[in-house]
Amino acid sequence: MSRIEEKESSMQACRDEARMLQALELARRGVGLTSPNPPVGAVIYKDDRLIGSGYHHKAGEPHAERMALADAVAKGHGEELCGAVIYVTLEPCSSYGRTPPCTQGIIDAGIGRVVYGVVDPDERHRGGADALLRAAGVEVQGRVAEAACRAFLRPWLHAVRTGQPWVVAKVAATMDGRIVRAGGRHQISGGEAREYMHRLRYRSDAILVGGRTVRTDNPRLTIRCGVESMEGKEQPWRIVFTQNAEGLPRDAAIFTDEHAGRTVLYEKVNDFQGVLNELHEKYGIVTLMLECGGRLLREWLERDLVQEWVQIISPYIGGGDVLLLPGGDLKAERELVDMHAQQFGNDFIISGLLHPES
Amino acid sequence: MSRIEEKESSMQACRDEARMLQALELARRGVGLTSPNPPVGAVIYKDDRLIGSGYHHKAGEPHAERMALADAVAKGHGEELCGAVIYVTLEPCSSYGRTPPCTQGIIDAGIGRVVYGVVDPDERHRGGADALLRAAGVEVQGRVAEAACRAFLRPWLHAVRTGQPWVVAKVAATMDGRIVRAGGRHQISGGEAREYMHRLRYRSDAILVGGRTVRTDNPRLTIRCGVESMEGKEQPWRIVFTQNAEGLPRDAAIFTDEHAGRTVLYEKVNDFQGVLNELHEKYGIVTLMLECGGRLLREWLERDLVQEWVQIISPYIGGGDVLLLPGGDLKAERELVDMHAQQFGNDFIISGLLHPES
């Protein structure tokens, strides 16, 4: 390779990555809406000019590639698609699902080059796009900005790999690790942190609590603030683990509100993995957030079934008997990695992953 | 005031504040070294040119104003001091202490204008500088960048006001509020957080632990890393609160190392305030850091004698029996204000004030 060719090649790599991150920003708009599908974004460039963009809005609706192609056509760039480059955060699908394969749509539109982020882990697609596209004379390059795209797709990649939802443990505690403030106040977090918690619910397909939480707090477990719009978003499933279904109050909000049909009870569960399998297969749940008390949280940790940890830390020191995680040593200590902290009003939110995603 | 005069006046206010913050940066170099005196910084400007700067290094040595004046002379700017402006973070002293009053030094040097940050709360000085300087024909302006200077001087201002040290509670805990990791490991924090902890010790004049900590951890409580130099810094006093002085191990590090003379035992203390008075009066301690376990920490909190809270949060979740703050509700819940968080490696350090300083 000559020096000029080398330089052109490294400039193209840089351009490709920037455009993939642009597609990733679009993908973020679909978070919380697309399960059991992944949130995916796509942009189309012709001669360094953006001519179309789109993202996957909802399972059953067109994929990001189709949205971007249609966007280009709608904007009068249909003829420019021939020889254009499409950037998509996930390998285009190559088999018939609810919609025809995107590879065919790309070929039909005359796209000259396909750049994607993450190889589809789904056996029906994995690597399939490359062969199909190349056979049709389309240039293909995968694994561009792969780390960022993988990190973004963690919950879905986990669900495809394991057949179970990605489990996020959400806890709110004082500086000294209590979940009830001195004097018995259950409201720990300030307004800004609570809004963030509702945005976490928006990202989730389901929220899990224990029967004890239903009895003592009567939570609604719905998204009520913190998000711009609920358009395209259903309220999360409410999953209750209880030792005694009969003993739950019949008039609890989750049994009586307008979303009562989205409340699912499990009694005396011992096979947590079996429930996770069912939640993914039957309800299409990709992200499950635990909002349970410390005793049930312990059970999830002991079974090593938590992937992500989000802790709201509020500025109180008060002692007390209700610990964020009661009891003696866990059988195996968990360690968080890839940690982040952010301030919301007077609260801090610290989050991390319990297992580095492979 | 004409519009031109108004503009000139607001430009001068802006310049004054910027130079005061410059003096404050110098003052920071003295933190941990000057007790029972405050850390103070000063800069001298003539015709918008910096001609001298200095800070207070150690009790008994010259004050910041004297250091800055001497610096100007040493740099050949002695003649320019006439009509120059000195910026100093604290009101210049106006009475004889271990050194002659700075007001006299300023007058003798022919300084034309004195700008200072915080009014000296010490009754012997408070506001005294203004009258003395003005009588000598020197222009005076106080309370410039006052909030920043006051925040910086919080420990010393507290000590002058109360006659007792500023008390910092330092705790290191896991995400779930345990101070011992699962499996009994007492080492919780990573290397970068530990270095920060040694810098906290450097800022302190004394460290307090309970007899239990001496028996179980045998800590040295010295500054051993994280700081560039120990020049001018003595190792902190080690204060031990014990129920049974005879029961402490005679061979503990704090009784046998080269700083053994700086270990002070208090047995069966009930009058914490009495001890604080003594620590300030007898040993000149302005900042006292608690590194005790949860039971003794509780006693300090219940007595409302903690001013600042520094908590290292490490990325482990393990349950366990040793809580950062054991026991039921405190008689009165404490709330932190003015909070900050910083990441050190995989640890976070969250700090705040238990009482807003008036």
Token duo for residue B168: 């910092």
Measure the CA–CA gap between B147 and B143, rounded to whole angstroms.
Answer: 8
Name the 3-class secondary structure at A28: helix
| Residue spans of chain B under pLDDT 50 | 357-358
- Please check whether residue A321 touches B, CB under 8 A: yes
Average pLDDT, chain B: 95
Query: What is the per-residue DSSP string for A220-280?
Result: -----SS-S--TT-PPPEEEEEES-GGGS-TT-HHHHSTTGGGEEEEES---HHHHHHHHH
| CA pair distance A212, A243, nearest whole angstrom | 9
Taking contacts as CB-CB distances below 8 angstroms, the residues of chain A near B352 are 315
The Cβ-side half-sphere exposure at B117, using a 13 Å CA radius, reads 29
Task: Using an 8 Å CB-CB cutoff, list chain B residues near A341.
Answer: 341, 343, 348
- Amino acid of residue A148: A
Contact: B328, A343; criterion CB under 8 Å: no
- Return the axis-axis angle of helices B64-74 and B3-28, rounded to nearest 10°: 100
Which residue do the tokens 């950037």 mark?
A: A87
Nearest to B231 by CA among B263, B198, B202: B202
Q: Does B304 touch chain A (CB under 8 A)?
A: no
Give me the count of residues in chain A.
358
B333 and A181 in contact by Cβ < 8 A?
A: yes
User: Is the pTM here over 0.90, yes or no?
Assistant: yes
Q: Tokens representing A27?
A: 């993908």
d(CA A103, CA A93) in angstroms, rounded, equals 6
Supply the residues of A annotated as catalytic. Answer: 65
Instruction: Identify all chain A residues contacting B313, using CB atoms and an 8 Å cutoff.
Output: 313, 350
B323 touches chain A (CB under 8 A): yes
What does the pLDDT profile of chain A (358 residues) look like in tens digits? 788 888 888 999 999 999 999 999 999 999 999 999 999 999 999 999 999 999 999 999 999 999 999 999 999 999 999 999 999 999 999 987 777 899 999 999 999 999 999 999 988 778 899 999 999 999 999 999 999 999 999 999 999 999 999 999 999 999 999 999 988 888 899 999 999 999 999 999 999 999 999 999 999 999 999 999 999 999 999 999 999 999 999 999 999 999 999 999 999 999 999 999 999 999 999 999 999 999 999 999 999 999 999 999 999 999 999 999 999 999 999 999 999 999 999 999 999 999 754 4
For residues B113 and B139, is the Cβ–Cβ distance under 8 A?
A: yes
Give residue A292's identity as a one-letter amino acid code: C
CA neighbor of B34 nearest in space, from B119, B197, B151, B156? B156
Gap from B202 CA to chain A (nearest CA, Å)? 25
Rounded to an integer, what distance in angstroms lies between the CA atom of residue B348 and that of residue A318? 21
Query: How big is chain B by its Cα radius of gyration, in Å?
Result: 23
| Alpha helices (H) along chain B | 3-28, 64-74, 102-109, 128-135, 146-152, 154-162, 191-203, 211-217, 253-256, 272-283, 294-302
CA A106 to CA A72: how far, in whole Å?
12
**Who contacts B207 (Cβ-Cβ below 8 Å, separation ≥6)?**
B201, B221, B236, B237, B238, B239, B288, B289, B290, B291
| The two structure tokens encoding residue B142 | 């106080």
Question: A136 — contact with chain B (CB < 8 Å)?
Answer: no
List C-alpha distances in Å: B214 to A255, B219, B239, B259, B275.
Answer: 56, 6, 11, 15, 19
Cα gap A264→A288, rounded to integer Å: 13
**pLDDT tens digits along A178-236:** 999 988 888 899 999 999 999 999 999 999 999 999 999 999 999 999 999 999 999 99
A317 chain-B contacts, CB cut-off 8 A = 301, 309, 325, 330, 333-336, 354
As a whole number of angstroms, the distance between CA A254 and CA A250 comes to: 9
Closest CA to A109 of A137, A129, A88, A79: A79
Q: Which residue has the tokens 């008994």?
A: B60
Residues of B numbered 262-281 whose beta carbons fall under 8 angstroms of chain A's beta carbons: which are they?
none
ipTM: 0.91
